[in-house]
Amino acid sequence: MDETSSLQRRPEGSGPGPIRRTALHDTLVNHLRDMIIEGDLEPGTRLHEGQLGEQLGVSRTPLREAIKYLASEGLVELVPSRGAVVKRFSAKDVKDMLTVLRSLEELAGKLACEVASDNDIAGVRTLHDEMIDCYKAGDRLRYYKLNQDIHSAIVKLSQNASLADIHIMLQTRLKRIRFIGHEGPEKWASAVAEHEEMISALEARDQSRLSEVLGRHLFNAWDRVRDTL
Amino acid sequence: MDETSSLQRRPEGSGPGPIRRTALHDTLVNHLRDMIIEGDLEPGTRLHEGQLGEQLGVSRTPLREAIKYLASEGLVELVPSRGAVVKRFSAKDVKDMLTVLRSLEELAGKLACEVASDNDIAGVRTLHDEMIDCYKAGDRLRYYKLNQDIHSAIVKLSQNASLADIHIMLQTRLKRIRFIGHEGPEKWASAVAEHEEMISALEARDQSRLSEVLGRHLFNAWDRVRDTL
DNA sequence: ACAAAAAATGCTGCATACAGAATACAAAAG
DNA sequence: CTTTTGTATTCTGTATGCAGCATTTTTTGT
């Protein structure tokens, strides 16, 4: 039982932490989500309850609950009497998602310009500067993460919970795809340029310009991955 | 065991149906969703596994799975060690949802004008005419349902699966609210007028006009329910 | 009589057990 | 050699049982 690592209820006094230990359900959901996003579970793969449960050191019951949760999130598909399989997205699916995402980010941009505080905007600027550093240093992984953080941050500035929810959901579904699409240097440069524009538009609280840039940015993103599908 | 009706696995040869009988999971999810929407389970209510399960004639396991599914849908909230409670939406939450919904419907309108076939548009017209009949007959319940159907139909015309998904999700969350907001005659009339405009814009494939009407329609919808919160 | 501690109750969280469906395999017939 | 049918295995779907946490009630001390 040495290989069945890391997911079961924390054994003992795990630190003096009065920190509310995250429920197993959440842990499982996050873990499975990551496995799907990172490709450990490829699209079309059947989620084998017995095997997967043993592998994670959890019994079938909480595992099934987590799977149902993910099904509602749209990451896996439930087939009656046959369990769950990792959902496969077609090129059109991806394009459709990006279309919606674009619309949502345009909305978020407009709202953010209206309601965000100067302080919040400064926070985004900080993220942006960090990201630029990563770009210069060629640190793709951290760049990628900060990139996403910035988009999420702008959405948060809109102070619309529902918008943020859906945005995260779509981002999650798309993460798998973007994980693949590693664009070349020239496209990367243009993406960075778009980000520069975004920030300055945000700081100027220029609704239409920010909205336009966000839209263009995502449109280009589609252009960057369309071939890889 | 006479009162525990109707949800357990179909007893026997239930018809000669080669129809794939819906899995219990789906049935449960739909049932619980309806109970929440229709107010059988009010916001803040704890979903008592034992009691609820007995009431529905199902054991706790599938019930818990259904609850997790609904949690991901955003209808209930999971509280660690305390089960699930029906989520309560604040006035701002509703406004935020309507803001997003508006943006999505505007997008759907634009797309629909581009890609929908004449046939599909005719189908929406049919629904519309039916709805008008209900309006004239004062049949609020059917009017309400057709109203929603029309909006969903327009979204479907956009042929964007992701858009449709999210739209349904938001509509579901809002159903509870709309269930309450019974507007007066004058507001009802204006809503009908807006629908007239929608249809004619759609038939003319006038993107910007359709988009504008859809947006205005939802804005007014907010105006209609804002006091009731 | 009031406050604090301790016991008791009820519910959730997880694991296990059992039944039914689907699939894979094997044997037999064409 | 192919096809079909019967059987065996495997996995899902559901029920039940047990342990731990939360809350409420009771008891005890001042």
Fold (CATH) for A91-228: Four Helix Bundle (Hemerythrin (Met), subunit A) (1.20.120)
ipTM over 0.85: yes
- 3-state class (DSSP) for residue A108: helix
Instruction: List % helix, strand, coil for chain A (3-state, nearest 5).
Output: 70, 5, 25
Count Cβ atoms within 10 A of the Cβ of residue B76 and give its class: 0-12 exposed, 13-18 middle, 19 or more buried: buried
Q: Which amino acid, B196? A: E
Which residue is it, tokens 């699930």?
Answer: B84
β B83-86/A46-47 pair status: unpaired
Task: Tell me if B99 sits within 8 A of A161, measured CB to CB.
Answer: no
Distance A2 CA to D7 C1' (A): 37
- Each domain of chain A, given as residue ranges in start order, spans 24-86, 91-228
Residue B179 confidence class, pLDDT cut points 50, 70, 90: low
Residue B223 confidence class, pLDDT cut points 50, 70, 90: confident
In this model, does residue B132 exceed pLDDT 50?
yes
Residue A117 is classified by DSSP as: -
Residue in A with minimal Cα distance to B80: A23
Q: Poorest-confidence range of B40-44, B180-184, B203-207?
A: B180-184
Residue of B100, B106, B115 to mutate when probing chain A, most A C-beta within 10 A: B100
Q: What's this model's pTM, rounded to 2 decimal places?
A: 0.91
- 3-state class (DSSP) for residue A115: helix
In this model, does residue A14 exceed pLDDT 50?
no
Q: Higher confidence at residue A218 or residue B20?
A: A218
Which residues does B12 contact at the CB level (< 8 Å), separation at least 6? Answer: none
DSSP track, A24-87: HHHHHHHHHHHHHHTTSS-TT-EE-HHHHHHHHT--HHHHHHHHHHHHHHTSEEEETTTEEEE-
The number of angstroms, rounded, from the C-alpha of A151 to the middle of its chain's C-alpha atoms is: 10
In the sheet that holds A76-79, the strands lie side by side as A46-47, A83-86, A76-79
Mean pLDDT score across all residues of chain B = 88
Task: Tell me if A61 sits within 8 A of B61, measured CB to CB.
Answer: yes
Residue B184 confidence class, pLDDT cut points 50, 70, 90: confident
Nearest to A71 among B69, B93, B97 (CB): B69
Instruction: Give the gap in angstroms from C-alpha A2 to the nearest C-alpha of chain B.
Output: 29
Task: Report the nucleotide nearest the CA of residue B61, measured to C1'.
Answer: D14
Among A194, A213, A202, CA closest to A135 = A194
Which residue is it, tokens 């980010």?
Answer: A105
DSSP track, chain B: --SS-S-S---S--SS--S-PPPHHHHHHHHHHHHHHTTSS-TT-EE-HHHHHHHHT--HHHHHHHHHHHHHHTSEEEETTTEEEE----HHHHHHHHHHHHHHHHHHHHHHHHH--HHHHHHHHHHHHHHHHHHHHT-HHHHHHHHHHHHHHHHHHTT-HHHHHHHHHHHHHHHHHHHH----HHHHHHHHHHHHHHHHHHHTT-HHHHHHHHHHHHHHHHHHHGGG-
In this model, does residue A66 exceed pLDDT 80?
yes
Residue B196 confidence class, pLDDT cut points 50, 70, 90: very high
Task: Tell me if B85 sits within 8 A of B44, measured CB to CB.
Answer: yes
Task: Tell me if A52 sits within 8 A of A41, measured CB to CB.
Answer: no
B4 touches strand D (CB under 7 A): no
Mean pLDDT computed over B125-130: 97
CA distance to A54, B54, B87, B95, B145, per residue, from B90 (Å): 42, 31, 10, 9, 24
Instruction: Give the gap in angstroms from C-alpha A114 to the nearest C-alpha of chain B.
Output: 14
**Inter-axis angle of helices B60-73 and B161-180, nearest 10:** 100
In this model, does residue A6 exceed pLDDT 70?
no
CATH classification of B24-86 is 3.20.20.100, yes or no? no
Q: CA quadruple A213, A219, A222, A227: dihedral positive or negative?
A: negative
Rounded Cα distance, B210 and B113, in Å = 8
Nearest to B96 among A23, A163, A169 (CB): A163
Residue B228 confidence class, pLDDT cut points 50, 70, 90: confident
Instruction: Give the gap in angstroms from C-alpha A98 to the nearest C-alpha of chain B.
Output: 9
Nearest to B68 among A69, A96, A161 (CB): A69
Task: Tell me if B92 sits within 8 A of A32, measured CB to CB.
Answer: no
Mean pLDDT computed over B64-91: 96
In this model, does residue B15 exceed pLDDT 60?
no
pLDDT of residue A20: 43
In this model, does residue B28 exceed pLDDT 90?
yes
Token pair in block for residue B66: 């259904």
Residue A22 is classified by DSSP as: P
Residues A74-113: tens digit of each pLDDT: 999 999 999 999 999 999 999 999 999 999 999 999 999 9
Among A86, A71, A76, A108, CA closest to A41 = A86
Rounded Cα distance, B106 and B212, in Å = 7
Q: Poorest-confidence range of A212-226, B2-16, B47-61, B113-127?
A: B2-16
Q: Nearest residue (Cα to C1') for D10?
A: A50
pLDDT of residue A179: 65
pLDDT of residue A227: 74
Residue A65 and residue B66: Cβ atoms within 8 Å? no
Rounded Cα distance, A35 and A71, in Å = 14
